[in-house]
Structure 1
Amino acid sequence: MKVPSFHLSTEEIREELAPLRHPFSIAVCRAKNPFNIGAIIRTAHSFLVREVFLVGTEPWYERAAMGMAKYETIVECPDEEVFLEAVRGRPLVGVERDHAKTTLWEAEMPDGLVFLFGSENDGLSDRLLSACDQILAIPMYGINHSYPVAIAAGMVMCEWARRKDPRGSLTPR
């Protein structure tokens, strides 16, 4: 079943959502699989992130966002330098298993942070790794080397919400 439009324009919906947005952002180096970027945008909408930074110029699959891109602030950064300038002064948290100093369960998550995800094949560049305030890994238990980037982004956003959601526990009593 399709969700009704509530008889509001896209801009009116964006205005209604603005005060509900959370004080963190997602950044992703354009993935080799354009579906992943759309899936990340869709998931970011579910967590009402402040904005989504897309680093690089590769295309992304808008249909995978399921229409949620129109409600999000998407900041297109053609390269790493433009991205780093856009987030200057904000805590930058890289998600990169091989260079991690902490895990998702232990990492600090200050307000205003930007979670940064690399592309599937290349991960994060040395330049982006050196710009990160911290680098975290998501614990893994199988023999895979990494999670799909869209899944990793969802897990990180979910952990942020678990720690920071002002509504507290939603577990039925």
Structure 2
Amino acid sequence: MEGRHGVGPWEGAWPDDPRLDPEYLEHGDTRNVVDEYRYWSLDAVVADLDTRRHPFHVAIENFENDMNIGTVVRTANAFLAKEVHIVGRKRWNRRGAMVTDRYQHIRHHESMADLIAWAEDNGLAVVAIDNTPGSVPLETAELPRDCVLLFGQEGPGVTEAAQQAAVMTCSIAQFGSTRSINAGVAAGIAMHAWIRQHADLSQAW
């Protein structure tokens, strides 16, 4: 019986499907995965996701141990980003990712120059997300299909070097008293903007 905590052990003869994990079949599957992936092994889920990933990437600067990276990774998984790129410090707090980092490809870059060079080599436009003078409203911007959505840290935002290397900087419309919004929230808004413009919504769960 399926409930909020997943499914119990498989009842009856086990199905002959190489994607299924014997451990989950025997003991149940309590992971936070969509029903389609119940009882599947981790490798099988990742392999299936790899056939459908969107061509946008997400990058976040991590020069001050940003606590929002886990949220960014979890959201990137939800919107099926190609990869998440962490620029700066390699270590980050995985708690906010809620285990989705196992299903999401993550790449590390020592510096912003490394990320920019990698993006150029792979034909990806870098789009910075920050509320700075001269930025284009995300709500009306036409985002490139093949791109890297780049986010700065809570407070300082995207570094000047990153903005100079980006093809555009997009701002998110705000109406309250604070100057900026949480980096994890901003990432979710920007990723969804890409989804609205480019994704095949018939493929959503």
- Asked whether the two chains share a fold, i.e. TM above 0.5, the reply is yes
What is the aligned length? 169
Q: Give per-residue Cα distances to partners, 1:63-83, cap 9 Å, x unaligned.
A: 210000011110111111211
Higher relative contact order (CA 8 A, sep 6+): 1
1:86 CA drift (Å)? 1.5
In structure 2, the gaps of 5 or more residues are 7-28, 32-37
Give the alignment partner of residue 36 of structure 1, picking from 60, 65, 68. Answer: 68
Indicate the SS of the match to 1:41.
Answer: helix
1:28 CA drift (Å)? 0.4
CA contact (8 A) 1:32 1:121 kept: no
Indicate the SS of the match to 2:68.
Answer: helix
Partners in 1 of 2:63 and 2:78 — Cα distance? 20
CA contact (8 A) 2:59 2:84 kept: yes
Asked if residue 96 in structure 1 is aligned to residue 130 in structure 2, the reply is yes
Asked if residue 54 in structure 1 is aligned to residue 86 in structure 2, the reply is yes
Q: 1:149 to 1:100 in 2, by over 3 A?
A: farther
Partners in 2 of 1:134 and 1:34 — Cα distance? 23
Rg (Cα) greater in structure: 2
1:134 CA drift (Å)? 0.6
1:138 CA drift (Å)? 0.2
Tell me the residue number matched to 1:142. Answer: 176
CA contact (8 A) 2:70 2:93 kept: yes
Query: What is the RMSD of the two structures over their aligned residues, measured on CA atoms?
Result: 1.8
Tell me the residue number matched to 2:5. Answer: 2
Normalising to structure 2: TM-score of the pair?
0.76
Tell me the residue number matched to 2:55. Answer: 23
Give the alignment partner of residue 46 of structure 2, picking from 14, 35, 44. Answer: 14
Asked if residue 106 in structure 1 is aligned to residue 109 in structure 2, the reply is no
Normalising to structure 1: TM-score of the pair?
0.89
Tell me the residue number matched to 2:150. Answer: 116
For 2:58, the aligned partner's letter is: I
Detail structure 1 runs of 4+ shifted over 6 Å in the superposition.
Answer: none
